[in-house]
Structure 1
Amino acid sequence: MPSPLPLFQITPAQIDHVVRVFYARIRTHAELGPVFAAHVRDWPAHEARIAAFWRNAILKERCYDGNPMRVHVSRPDIRPDHFPLWLALFHEVLTQELAAETAARWGALADRIGHGLKMGLTSMRQKPDEVPLFL
């Protein structure tokens, strides 16, 4: 059975490149850098895993098997207010490293995923008797 069509045209090498550039910037980011450094011990392995996540999401390669929500919720130092910072930096890298249309399409996908993670993190950390927050 043929693979489903990619969401947009991009190569695995381009995905790997964007992920490498992004995490190089994350490591020097004043607020996000320490959060990532507390959890990432092997940067090349982490970057390979995240690149696989994006190849799975964009190219439908079926090369990622993980649960990003569970990973993020299990780390109390990751806060919902980190996601806008993450997305702003990610958009910056996308627009600097890719053609405008590709950057816009990948950015839109990242926004949807980031919004879902932020909402999930907020919801899963609320006390059962609290009124739900809408972000």
Structure 2
Amino acid sequence: MTDQPLPNPLRKFDISAEEINRVVAVFYGRIRTHAVLGPVFANHVTDWPEHEEKIAGFWRNAILREGSYYGNPMRVHVSRPDIKAEHFPDWLDLFYQVLSEELPHDIGRKWAVLAQRIGEGFRTGIVSMRQPKDAPPVLF
């Protein structure tokens, strides 16, 4: 019998919490200097270490299933009118760049697929939830 914990069978792919934390820190370091996204984030993030820990918890929960995030990120994004649907392709491009630089290809690709799905969900949700109630739907 060993003292090592069993791996979580619900985890999405093999990555450590430390790797997730590092990717998030590098990504937000780049966000702060991004010409388009930097000012949007600066309007809302007053404590970068706290924000990075919250978002790293989101990703650790999404990937490792560690129960480290509680919140409603869709509501947060929709409630901030300066966050636009057109920001998500820039966000994803920057995130993909960090993943490709910081992680082995197969792990970065798996995370990129998950990020694409989540990012597209946010983008679609923002468009949908901001539509006037009686307006025709926006078809993508």
TM-score, length-normalised on structure 2? 0.93
Tell me which residue corresponds to 1:83.
88
> Residues 68-117 of structure 1: CA distance to partner in whole angstroms, max 9, x if unpaired?
10000000000000000000000000000000000000000000000000
Structure 1 segments, 4+ long, off by >6 Å, are none
- 2:79 matched residue in structure 1: 74
Note the C-alpha offset of 1:129. Answer: 1.2
- Where structure 2 has 5 or more consecutive residues not aligned to the other structure, the ranges are 1-5
Q: Which structure 1 segments of 5+ residues have no match?
A: none
Instruction: Work out whether 1:121 is the aligned partner of 2:126.
Output: yes
Match of 1:109 in 2: 114
Q: Aligned partners of 2:78 and 2:12: how far apart in 1?
A: 27
Higher-helix-fraction structure = 1
SS at match of 1:39: coil
Q: Distance in 2 between matches of 1:108 and 1:62?
A: 21
Equivalenced residues, count: 134
Find the structure with the greater CA-based Rg: 2
2:61 is the counterpart of 1:56: yes
* Secondary structure in 2 matching 1:120: helix
Q: 1:28 aligns to what SS in structure 2?
A: coil
Does residue 21 (structure 1) correspond to residue 56 (structure 2)? The answer is no
Aligned-pair CA distance for 1:6? 1.0
Give the aligned CA root-mean-square deviation in angstroms.
0.9
Aligned equivalents of 1:15, 1:88: Cα separation in 2: 17
Specify the code of the residue in structure 2 equivalent to 1:128: K
- Please state how far the C-alpha of 1:26 moved relative to its aligned partner: 0.1
TM-score by length of 1: 0.97
Q: Which amino acid aligns with 1:125?
A: R
Is 1:11 matched up with 2:11?
no
